[in-house]
Amino acid sequence: MDITFKDVSYIYQANTPFEHRALSGVSFHIPSGSFVAVIGHTGSGKSTLLQHLNGLLRPTEGKVMIGDYQISAAEKTKDIKSLREKVGVVFQYPEHQLFEETVAKDIGFGPLNFNVEPKEIERRTGQAIKAVGLPEDLLQRSPFDLSGGQMRRVAIAGVLAMNPEVLVLDEPTAGLDPSGQREIMDMFSRQHKNNNLTTVLVTHSMEDALRYADHIIIMKDGEKYMEGAPLEVLVNKEELQRVQLDLPEVIQFLHQAEKQFGKAIPYRKQGIAQLAKELTAVVKGGESHG
């Protein structure tokens, strides 16, 4: 589904001494099927932005359009529940939302709320637990007996089982070990491709943004700061440092290599082996000439 923000502003606790402007005049368009990373420092408005995607928040000014759904201050969105079925949100630390007696019931909780047939729920539960890489015999256990990482995966499975068309991820790998982070992100990437999803990822990790996203939005103090393709946005050192963000490590490394050997290696998302080859060529070339 296409996602469009039109001059969206959001003010928390308007008309009180605690009034706080979290978003001001944000506009962008995300075509259906993109994988978008939203990056920004703490307090830059990422989480507020994300909550507009399934109507948890209603913009104070402006308009949000998701597929055929419209969310604005003036009118009540029709059928907000069906919007929430189509937009699956994985919140930060999603394991905090687990509550059922068994893993299976918790994964099936979303679909059940959206009136999915019991047979179909069972099928989706099996599929979802496999997708997040957990063994099926966990299904009958209590979610509170699992380890932190397993709980996280169960919670994610609960969102996948809703079969959403848009997947919204709020730092889904925060607090996991590095290999777990990689596995989960690869899993989201697979889901994105196989199910033709539109994915919005809120993250602090420049590496993840570079690796998975095809479009990047950088937020600063509630405003859109930069937007564009990863290889355009994530190479601009000065602009990024102004919002306390670093270049992704690969880019940093290539910049260093350029300084060292005097020849730039353009980054086109090539793998480590390919990069090593190109680097060798540059180093050797440098030697033969010098």
Partner 1 sequence: MGSSMIIGQYVPGNSFIHRIDPRTKITIIFFFVLIVFFANSVMSYGLLTLFAVGSAASTRIPARYLIKGLLPVWFLIVFTFILHLFVTKEGEVLFSIFSFDFYTGGIIQGLAISLRFFLLILVTSLLTLTTTPIEITDAIEGMLGPLKKIRFPVHELALMMSISLRFIPTLMQETEKISKAQASRGVDFRTGSFKDRIKAVVPLLVPLFVSAFKRAEELAMAMEARGYQGGEGRTKLRELSIGKLDIYTYILFILVIIGLILTRS
Residues that bind partner 1 (CB under 8 A): 13, 16-17, 51, 54, 56, 81, 84-85, 87-89, 91, 94, 96-99, 109-110, 113-114, 144, 158-159, 162
Cβ atoms within 10 Å of 254's Cβ, excluding its own: 20
Contact 24, 223 (CB under 8 A): yes
For the bound state, the minimum distance from the C-beta of residue 17 to partner 1, rounded and expressed in Å, comes to 5
Bridge-based pairing state of the strands 198-203 and 35-40? parallel
What's the closest the beta carbon of residue 106 comes to partner 1, in angstroms? Answer: 9
Nearer Cβ to partner 1 (87/139): 87
Q: Based on C-alpha coordinates, what's the Rg of the chain?
A: 21
Rounded to a whole number of angstroms, the minimum distance from the CB of residue 234 to partner 1 is 29
Tell me how far, at minimum, the Cβ of 126 lies from partner 1, in Å.
Answer: 19
Measure the CA–CA gap between 16 and 18, rounded to whole angstroms: 5
Least distance to partner 1 from the beta carbon of 99, Å? Answer: 4
d(CA 90, CA 152): 10
* Cβ-based nearer residue to partner 1, 30 or 87: 87
Note whether 258 and 265 are within 8 A (CB): yes
Complex with partner 1: residue 44 or 47, whichever CB lies closer: 47
Residue 229 CB, nearest distance to partner 1 (Å)?
A: 29
Handedness of CA 8, 11, 12, 13 (dihedral sign): negative
- Closer residue to partner 1 in complex, CB, 18/290: 18
**Contact call for residues 53 and 229 (beta carbons, < 8 A):** no
All residues at 6 or more sequence positions from 77 whose CB lies less than 8 Å from its CB, including other chains? 55, 58, 69, 70, 71, 83
Of the two residues 115 and 194, which places its CB atom closer to partner 1 in the complex?
Answer: 115
State which residue, 38 or 209, has the beta carbon closest to partner 1.
38
Amino acid (1-letter code) at residue 32 = S
